[in-house]
Amino acid sequence: MSESHQRQLLLASENPQQFMDYFSEEFRNDFLELLRRRFGTKRVHNNIVYNEYISHREHIHMNATQWETLTDFTKWLGREGLCKVDETPKGWYIQYIDRDPETIRRQLELEKKKKQDLDDEEKTAKFIEEQVRRGLEGKEQEAPVFTELSRENDEEKVTFNLNKGACSSTATSSKSSSLGPSALKVIETAASVKRKESSRSSAQPKEKKKKSALDEIMEIEEEKKRAARTDYWLQPEIIVKIITKKLGEKYHKKKGIVKEVIDKYTAVVKMIDSGDKLKLDQTHLETVIPAPGKRILVLNGGYRGNEGTLESINEKTFSATIVIETFSKCEYLGGIIDALESLMEVLNSLQKIVRNCQILCTCCIKELIGP
């Protein structure tokens, strides 16, 4: 019966559908985000996801949405194609459908590879059948003639000659001459030709760019680090902006400083204007990009945790150019350990060569190690 509550009732009564659509959309987005991040594409009971969702303090109640029960909401997810749903004696189960373009691309590549492998197997089988058919052309298969075992003298011993080396060799030679080249031999020769061509093609770029084993290993590790990304990005002492409207206009689009990170996805934010402290999920926050020339911290990717200077911002491609100035201690020590392991491999190979040859010229050592 308070004045503020009565005022909210009057506002909602003027356009109830607008408020219901807004709360329904918020409930759907938060529910699907929790399902995607917590369970991925695993099949899970809908009540388990809902109980975890309502455990959050700032969740949207279902009685404020267009769905009356959790079963209605589950059926709606299935009709809209957002999840795979199925009913069992234990209740309704849901499975999130990942429509990320990168995931779809990986699935298409796997299917294409499987199809290509099947095509190669079918081609090989057809090739073998064709070779067998060509070998059998023009030859009539002789039907085996069965005779009774008989001997003229009952006292004579029955002997068997098992030495069939000469017969088998002549038979195999005659068969090979009549059937033509073996299908397996033809495949082996084709494979050897392909290996030679691949070795030649791989040898050509090596002649153009002479790189040591240490340089190649460092490049591979660098590419792995650049491609490594995580679904969490919060770091202490960074400036963020609140994008959720659930806290009202007082905090919407306001900036704050992350004072503490809890469980990788939750942060304690201290507001810059008022000094209030709020506990928020990373989905309710976004990063703040400084002006060019200012200091910046990399929050994700291969250079995660490194500081640098922002040089320029490209708004069309949603990207920026930064200069990395410092590296984290773990990354620095990891690079030193990788370099030492590679150096030990080179030294072991040199030791084997010295043991076998006794004398090794300085030119050979320079070619092995690189410039």
Higher-scoring residue by pLDDT: 77, 370: 77
Q: What is the pLDDT of residue 169?
A: 46
CATH number of the domain enclosing 327:
2.30.30
Q: What domain count does the chain have?
A: 3
| Element of type H or E holding 106 | helix 101-136
Burial (CB count <10 Å: 0-12, 13-18, 19+), residue 205: exposed
CATH number of the domain enclosing 10:
1.10.10.2030
Q: What is the pLDDT of residue 56?
A: 84
The answer as to whether 337 is a domain residue is: yes
Same domain, 238 and 318: no
CATH number of the domain enclosing 243:
2.30.30.140
The answer as to whether 124 is a domain residue is: no
| Element of type H or E holding 93 | strand 91-96
Q: What is the pLDDT of residues 309-330, one digit of tens each?
A: 888 888 888 888 888 875 555 5
Mean pLDDT throughout 343-351?
A: 78
> Residue 203 pLDDT more than 60?
no
Same domain, 279 and 301: no
Q: What is the pLDDT of residue 257?
A: 92
Cα angle: 219, vertex 223, 229; to 5 degrees: 155
Check the CA dihedral 224-227-229-235 and report its sign: positive
Amino acid at 300: N
Same domain, 254 and 283: yes
Residue 258: pLDDT band by 50, 70, 90 thresholds? very high
For 271, the token pair is 């507001």
Q: What percent of the chain has pLDDT over 90?
A: 4
Instruction: State which of 288, 311, 330 marks the end of a domain.
Output: 288
Tokens 């079963």 sit on residue: 71
Instruction: State which of 99, 122, 145 marks the end of a domain.
Output: 99
The DSSP bridge pattern shows strands 307-314 and 319-324 to be: antiparallel
Q: What is the pLDDT of residue 332?
A: 55
**Tally of CB atoms within 10 A around 256:** 26
For 310, the token pair is 């922002």
Separation between Cα atoms, residue 64 and residue 20, nearest integer Å: 6
Q: What is the pLDDT of residue 327?
A: 53
The answer as to whether 170 is a domain residue is: no
Check the CA dihedral 205-208-213-218 and report its sign: negative
The answer as to whether 330 is a domain residue is: yes
Same domain, 90 and 31: yes
DSSP-based three-state secondary structure for 167: helix
Instruction: State which of 50, 71, 99 marks the end of a domain.
Output: 99
Q: What is the pLDDT of residue 178?
A: 42
Same domain, 269 and 345: no
Same domain, 252 and 315: no
The answer as to whether 267 is a domain residue is: yes
The answer as to whether 318 is a domain residue is: yes
> Residue 217 pLDDT more than 80?
no
Same domain, 238 and 324: no
The answer as to whether 148 is a domain residue is: no
Q: What is the pLDDT of residue 209?
A: 57
DSSP-based three-state secondary structure for 107: helix
Residue 346: pLDDT band by 50, 70, 90 thresholds? confident
Same domain, 88 and 7: yes
Separation between Cα atoms, residue 364 and residue 357, nearest integer Å: 12
DSSP-based three-state secondary structure for 351: helix
Separation between Cα atoms, residue 49 and residue 52, nearest integer Å: 5
The answer as to whether 234 is a domain residue is: yes
Q: What is the pLDDT of residue 256?
A: 92
Same domain, 8 and 59: yes
Same domain, 83 and 17: yes
Same domain, 262 and 345: no
Q: What is the pLDDT of residue 166?
A: 46
Same domain, 343 and 260: no
Q: What is the pLDDT of residue 289?
A: 87
Q: What is the pLDDT of residues 130-177, one digit of tens each?
A: 888 887 776 666 667 777 767 677 777 767 677 655 444 444 444 444
Domain hosting 85: range is: 3-99
Q: What is the mean pLDDT of the chain?
A: 76
**Residues making up the chain, counted from first to last:** 371
| Maximum Cα–Cα distance across the chain | 127
Tokens 């069992």 sit on residue: 88
For 170, the token pair is 């002549």
Separation between Cα atoms, residue 332 and residue 338, nearest integer Å: 10
| Element of type H or E holding 14 | helix 3-14
Q: What percent of the chain has pLDDT over 70?
A: 74
